[in-house]
């Protein structure tokens, strides 16, 4: 039950965090052609957006922008322009193909992102898959047609009409037949082709390339820390053989934080091996006799998890993470003065942590691991809870 509660806490934190995305400097162009400098909530959209949120000044009312009231907007290195286009929403995934050879177009207003701009411009709309459009000066924008479909016998066919479109509308004496045949319905190929055409049409044209931002995608932290361990053991046959031990310990680990390249790099995946140690002793009263009990706990913990960041400013951020931890005891056992010693067993559970990160270099985290059984013995039950405070030192700051 506690594991489900941890997951619900994490999901609730994620839901709340949606309001934490930063507004960044950008602009919008309204239906009257007027350009407004403003602050736009930058979600680094994987799919082309249908709606944005913006503020005309810092702290002012948040407004909504759609294709109904915005012609163009830009934030960061992203720019989108509104066009009324023909779009076929059918999928090119093999499991979702239909038997239509030709696209089933509907007309919609969409935000497209420009890839190449010149005498012939190339645009992209991405919603689960890429759809490309081209615009020749003085003409209407048109979709580049590429469609997979099913033939009789469930064979896959491909409609490559886009090559005929390029040959008819985007051709020049310097573009060879081989150049056309080597152009697939992919961003890199189409950008190269439109660069060739525009360079042929205008010697002053500067080829435009796909923007590839070098991202910092991995942090490696050293993670020393202290722990507070609460261990309860009880014999299932004799309830009076019961002990509670509460003692500090220490841990030392490393954390690999893999930064996911969307939503302003707020999501991360974690891999965290660590060594944990504590020892404790107690006495159990059996009728009128006391029995000493000692534990020396040493384990290798392997953690896999996910983290979400809440930005406070450019250098400071809070985070929450959920981690699944597999613990592997090493030369650890429960020593009973008047009974056979009990070996510790491998065990696993989830942990939840909250923390603070400064300047991508230093972090501190408080973590809680709920109760789990650590003994491999029919006659003894146990429950170990751990509170940890860990410092982090980034070996690869960006």
Q: For the chain, how many structural domains are there in total?
A: 3
Shared domain check, 200 and 112: yes
CATH number at residue 292: 2.40.160.20
Decide which of 211 and 354 is more confident: 354
Report residue 4's pLDDT band, with 50, 70 and 90 as the boundaries.
very low
Shared domain check, 244 and 379: yes
| CB-side neighbour CA atoms (13 Å) of 102 | 3
- Asked whether residue 248 is domain-assigned, the answer is yes
The tens digit of pLDDT for each residue in 361-372 reads 999 999 999 998
Judge whether 68 and 95 are in contact, CB under 8 Å: no
Number of H helices, E strands in the chain: 4, 22
Shared domain check, 370 and 256: yes
Report residue 201's pLDDT band, with 50, 70 and 90 as the boundaries.
very high
Shared domain check, 385 and 327: yes
Please give the pLDDT value at position 363.
Answer: 96
Report residue 3's pLDDT band, with 50, 70 and 90 as the boundaries.
very low
Element holding 168 (H helix, E strand): helix 161-169
CATH number at residue 47: 2.30.30
Shared domain check, 96 and 67: no
- Asked whether residue 315 is domain-assigned, the answer is yes
- Asked whether residue 36 is domain-assigned, the answer is yes
Decide which of 233 and 248 is more confident: 248
Please give the pLDDT value at position 6.
Answer: 47
Residue with tokens 């939503």: 263
Reported pTM: 0.62
Give the domain-ending residue among 213, 229, 261: 213
Q: 104-142 burial by CB neighbour count: b if 16+ within 10 A, else e? A: eeeeeebbbebbbebbbbbbbbeeeeebbbbbeeeeebe
The tens digit of pLDDT for each residue in 251-305 reads 999 999 999 877 767 899 999 999 999 988 887 766 666 778 888 889 999 999 9
For the segment 340-348, the average pLDDT, to the nearest whole number, is 81
Q: Is the pLDDT of residue 2 over 50?
A: no
Please give the pLDDT value at position 311.
Answer: 81
Q: Which domain holds residue 34?
A: 22-76
Shared domain check, 242 and 358: yes
Shared domain check, 86 and 72: no
- Asked whether residue 14 is domain-assigned, the answer is no
Please give the pLDDT value at position 216.
Answer: 66
Considering only 110-124, 165-179, 204-218, 239-253, which range has the smallest mean pLDDT?
204-218
Give the domain-ending residue among 168, 197, 213: 213
Give the domain-ending residue among 10, 45, 76: 76
- Asked whether residue 8 is domain-assigned, the answer is no
- Asked whether residue 2 is domain-assigned, the answer is no
């Amino acid at each position: 039950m506690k594991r489900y509660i941890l997951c619900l806490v994490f999901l609730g934190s994620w839901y709340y965090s949606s309001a934490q995305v930063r507004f960044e400097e950008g602009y919008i162009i309204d239906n009257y052609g007027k350009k407004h400098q403003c602050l736009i909530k930058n979600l680094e959209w994987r799919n082309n957006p249908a709606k944005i949120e913006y503020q005309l000044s810092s702290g002012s009312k948040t407004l909504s922008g759609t294709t109904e009231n915005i012609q163009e907007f830009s934030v960061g290195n992203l720019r989108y322009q509104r066009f009324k286009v023909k779009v076929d929403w059918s999928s090119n995934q093999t499991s979702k193909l239909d038997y239509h050879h030709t696209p089933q177009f509907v007309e919609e207003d969409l935000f497209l992102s420009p890839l190449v701009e010149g005498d012939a411009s190339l645009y992209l709309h991405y919603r689960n898959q890429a759809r490309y459009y081209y615009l020749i000066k003085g003409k209407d924008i048109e979709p580049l047609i590429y469609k997979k479909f099913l033939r009789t016998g469930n064979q896959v066919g491909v409609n490559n009409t886009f090559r005929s479109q390029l040959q008819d509308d985007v051709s020049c004496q310097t573009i060879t037949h081989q150049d056309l045949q080597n152009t697939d319905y992919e961003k890199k190929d189409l950008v190269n082709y439109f660069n060739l055409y525009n360079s042929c049409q205008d010697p002053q044209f500067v080829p435009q390339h796909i923007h590839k931002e070098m991202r910092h995608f991995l942090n490696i932290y050293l993670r020393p820390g202290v722990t507070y361990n609460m261990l309860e053991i009880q014999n299932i046959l004799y309830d009076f053989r019961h002990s509670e031990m509460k003692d500090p310990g220490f841990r030392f680990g490393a954390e690999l934080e893999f930064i996911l390249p969307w939503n302003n790099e707020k999501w991360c995946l974690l891999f965290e091996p660590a060594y944990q140690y504590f020892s404790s002793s107690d006495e159990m009263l059996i009728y009128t006799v006391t029995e000493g009990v000692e534990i020396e706990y040493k384990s290798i913990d392997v953690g896999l998890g996910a983290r979400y960041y809440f930005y406070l400013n450019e250098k400071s951020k809070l985070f929450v993470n959920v981690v699944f931890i597999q613990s592997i005891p090493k030369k650890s056992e429960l020593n009973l003065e008047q009974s056979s010693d009990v070996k510790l067993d491998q065990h696993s559970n989830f942990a939840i942590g909250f923390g603070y990160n400064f300047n991508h270099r230093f972090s501190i985290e408080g973590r809680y691991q709920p109760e789990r059984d650590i003994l491999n013995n029919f006659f003894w039950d146990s429950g170990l809870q751990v509170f940890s405070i860990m410092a982090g030192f980034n070996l690869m700051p960006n």
